[in-house]
Structure 1
C-alpha cells in the first residue's frame, strides 16, 4: 500500500493513502464555502496553524467529501504493509495511527473512515437520497414482485441452457486462452508499477531541486526583487504541475490491486472450466448413443425395478430438450403467461 506524506513539523509527517487522495490543489483561490471545509492537521498535534493560508495545499479525499485537509507542503511517496492491525494509535485521536513504512521512516497515517465517524459524518447525503421511502401499502405488491423475479430468473436460466450446444467448443477455446490472459495481466501490473515508481522518483527529485533554488534565492544579497518574485512564481506553477503528476500516480495502486484480483479470479475460473470440460467429455452424447435404450414393457415391472436398482448412481448432464419429468412446453407456457 502506498501513502503520500505531508511534513507538518520536524519528526511529524502526516500520511494519507494514495487510494484516498482525490485531488491536490492550492487553496489560494478557494471560495468561502471551501475555506470553511478546511481541516488543519497541525491542530491534532498541538502545532500552530500557518498565518498565511494561501501557501497551503488542499487535499480532497475520495471517501470524505465533507472536509479538505490543509497541509503546508508535499513530502514523499512511501509504502506501508497492507495489514491495518500494525502501528501505534494516537492517544487521543482514533483516526490516526503511527506506522513504520517499508523504507524505515515513521508517519501518522490518516484513517479516513474513522475520521468521518469521529466528526459525525457517518451517512452520505447521496446515499440516503437514493433510498426509496417506505410505504405501508407496498406489502400488497410483494407477491407480484416475487413472481416477477422468479419468472425472470427462470427465463434467464432458459437462455443460459440454450447455449449448451456450443459449451464444449467454448471451453476448449478458453482452456488455452485463460492462462495467457492471466499471465498478461500480471505483466501489465508489473510494468505499470515500474513506470509509476520511475515517474514518482523523477517528481521527487524535481521538488528537491526547487527547494534548493529557493534556498539560493533566500541567501543571495541581490536586490533584484522583481526577478526573485518572477522565479518564485515559475517555481510555484511547476510545483502545481508536479502535484498533478503525483495525483495521477494514484492509479497504479488501484490498478495493481484490481489486476491481481482479476488474475486470481481467472486462475480459479480456469480450473473450474477444465473440470467442467472433463465431466462433459465423460458424459458426451456419442457414448450414450452407442447402446440402444430398451423400453420396459407394461408387464415387466419387476424387471424394471431391478433395472432401476442396477442403474449407476452418478448423474449425467442433460442438455436442452432432454427427456425429463417436466414438459418444456409447459414451462414455456407458464413463463409466457407472466409475460417473460
Structure 2
C-alpha cells in the first residue's frame, strides 16, 4: 500500500517529468540534456484483445509520448501471461493482435521499440541477481501479488506460483534492462515502481560498489479517467464486459445495448449517484472531446436508449480509422512479424549490453 507521504513524493516526481516531457524546446542546455536521457518502458500482457479501456487509459498516452520525442520501449509481456493461468492460450494470435492495435493507434516502429518478453533472454537473466536483492516478505507485501493470489484462489483454488510471487521482480527486470527511467502507471502501480527503485539502489550498493549501474526509475502518473465495464464492474477481458478495439460497428452497438444504466429517464452526469450512466457519458466524452455534462444535457429526457445510441456512435466514429488500419495490419502477419523481429533485435542489443555490465560489476566475467 502506498502511504500519503510516498504518494506525495511520487506526484512531485511525476509532475517534474511531465514538465520535462511537455516542454521539448527548452533553451536551458541542462534541461535539454536531461530530457534527451528520458526512456519510457511500458507494455501489456497478451491475454486477449485490447479494449477501449486500454485505448483511453494507456495506448493514446504512449503515442503522445512517442510523438513528443521521448524514446519508448513497448513490451509485449508474453511470459507474464502464465503468472496467473495454466496455459498461454492463443499466444501468437494475441501477440499479433496486440501489435496490430499498437500500430493502428499510431505507434511508429521507427521511433518506438516494440518487443516480446520471451525473445530477450538477457533481460530475463537479470532475475537471478535481482531476486537476491529482495526478501520474501517484501514480495508478499506487494498489493498486486496479494490481489492476484486472492483472485486466483477464489477462482480455482490455485496456490501461488513462484512466478506470481516474483512478478514484481520480473517487472523490475523489464524496466531496468533497458534503463527505463519513465514508467507510465496509475497510482495503484506505484508499489511496483518502488520495488524497481529499491532493486536498482541495492544492486548499485551491493554489487557495484556504489557505481550507478542502474538509474532508479520514476513513475509518470496517468490522469486518464477510470472507465468501468458495461456491467458497472472493473473492465476486464475475463469478465466479458469490454468493447474490443477490433470489434465491428454492429458488435459495438450490441455490446452497448446490454450496458447497465439505471431506472431514471432523464440523463444527468452524476458519477457518485449514477455511476453506470456517468461511465457511459465519460466514454462518449473521451471519444468526442465534448464534456460529459454537456452530452448528458443534450440527451436530457430521451433516456437510456438514446444514451446508448450516443455512446455507440461516439466509439464507432472515434475508432473508425483505427479499425480500418487494424484490419489491414491483421491481414499482413508477415509485416507484423517483421516489426516484432526488428524490435526484438533492438531490445536484445540493449539487454546484452546491460547484462555484460552487470556481470562486470559482479565480477562474473570469465
- Tell me the TM-score range normalised by the shorter chain: under 0.3
TM-score by length of 1: 0.24
TM-score (norm 2): 0.23
